[in-house]
Amino acid sequence: MDLGLQGLLVGIIFGVLLQRGRLCFNSAIRDVKMTKDNYLMKMALLAILVETIGFQLVAQLGLIKLNPLPFIPLAQIIGGFLFGMGMVLAGGCASGITYRIGEGYITAFVAAIFFGITAAAVRGGPLQIVNKWFGKPITTTNNPSGVYAATDGKVNLTIANLLNVNTWIIAIIFAFLLLVVILVWKTTERKVTGLNWIWGGILVGLTGIIAYLSQKTYALGITGGWVNLLRTTTGNLDLSKGVPYNWIGMEVFGIIVGAFIVALLSKEFKLRMPKDPKTFVQVALGGILMGFGAGVAQGCNIGHILSGLPHLAISSLVFTVFVVAGNWLMVWYLFERK
């Protein structure tokens, strides 16, 4: 099957699950602090648990090579922090603003466009100079069991290749820790009309594994998809030349389509606009911070958190810590400060 078509189908499934599960990483991280509500966080942790084992398994079977994101310390520290603050202003993480376009949120569309344009500017566009400030990736030549994708013998850092131990050992320890947290941490009560956290977590995790098998080079992502959609759509208006939409661009488009279809069916589609026009400025600013952060850090909450943590990539672990810090700081500033 054509790679673009596969991306579209995976995106549609992911969009349906995001909408029905109401899975937004901005909400998941924020609610744990602000309202002591862990419902979405547990859904996300379960998805990461499923992927941790799943990615190992399909790599072991030789179906894919694990491809952790490059570790550029300053990029993930600063990028993660800016991304974490930006998503509070934008009212959603990268996947959150993408699927909410399908639900009819005008603000999500504005945030996503500013996110995509800024990320595209940083990745090969007029702002690409900024990548020089953050330096080059730190790599290793360790490749335990040969499960990692290598370029000239260099592999991006993970806990397993840093320690040079079998990747299964680290994956099983991490999965076990996640399982303990999931079992011990009492779930916040919530009457859901969509998917509950258990189904949402398992199905999102399985979709991540399918995404890896389909795209081969990586699992689910958002940032690269927006960059591709904007660049090919605006850069190649000559329709006689094939428009090179790639897997991840079509996946992002599919998320919007999937969320739109299922929102219509569940009568949750509605064009929504905030009453105060200043909100548009706020979400645009949030989108710019997110686009810059995800652009330099090589990934967003999906690339680094949902898809990156199961790799136990050092880049993704650092990014995640600073996303949480940025999110909590901005939540405090906007909503909790007296």
Partner 1 sequence: MAEVKPNYTLDERGEVCPIPDVDTRKKLKEMKSGEILEVLIDYALSKERIPAGVKEVGGEVISIEEIGPSEWRILIKKL
Binding site for partner 1 (CB under 8 A): 22, 24, 26-27, 30-31, 34-37, 39, 91-92, 96, 107, 188-194, 267-270, 272-275, 279, 282-283, 335
Closest CB to partner 1 among 22 and 304? 22
Nearest distance from C-beta of residue 187 to partner 1, angstroms: 10
Nearer to partner 1 among residue 132 and residue 191 (C-beta) = 191
Smaller CB separation from partner 1, 91 or 310? 91
Of 220, 246, 221, 222, whose CA–CA distance to 233 is shortest?
A: 246
Phi-psi map region of 104: left, alpha, beta (phi>0 left; psi -120 to 50 alpha): left
| Dihedral sign (CA 98, 102, 108, 111) | positive
3-state secondary structure of 307: coil
H or E element: which one contains 140?
strand 139-140
Q: How far is the CB of 8 from partner 1 (least distance, A)?
A: 25
**Cβ-based nearer residue to partner 1, 39 or 83:** 39
CB 292 → partner 1: shortest distance, Å?
A: 20
State the minimum distance, in angstroms, from the CB of residue 37 to partner 1.
6
288 Cβ contact list (under 8 Å, min separation 6): 86, 114, 115, 118
Measured from the CB atom, the residue of 177 and 264 that comes closer to partner 1 is 264
CB of 298 to partner 1, least distance (A): 26
Cα(222)–Cα(94) distance, rounded to whole angstroms?
Answer: 6
Burial class (CB in 10 A: 0-12, 13-18, 19+), 184: exposed
Q: Which is nearer to partner 1, 24 or 117 (CB)?
A: 24
User: CA-CA distance, 109 to 121, in Å (whole number)?
Assistant: 18
Please report how close the Cβ of residue 115 comes to partner 1 at its closest, in angstroms.
14
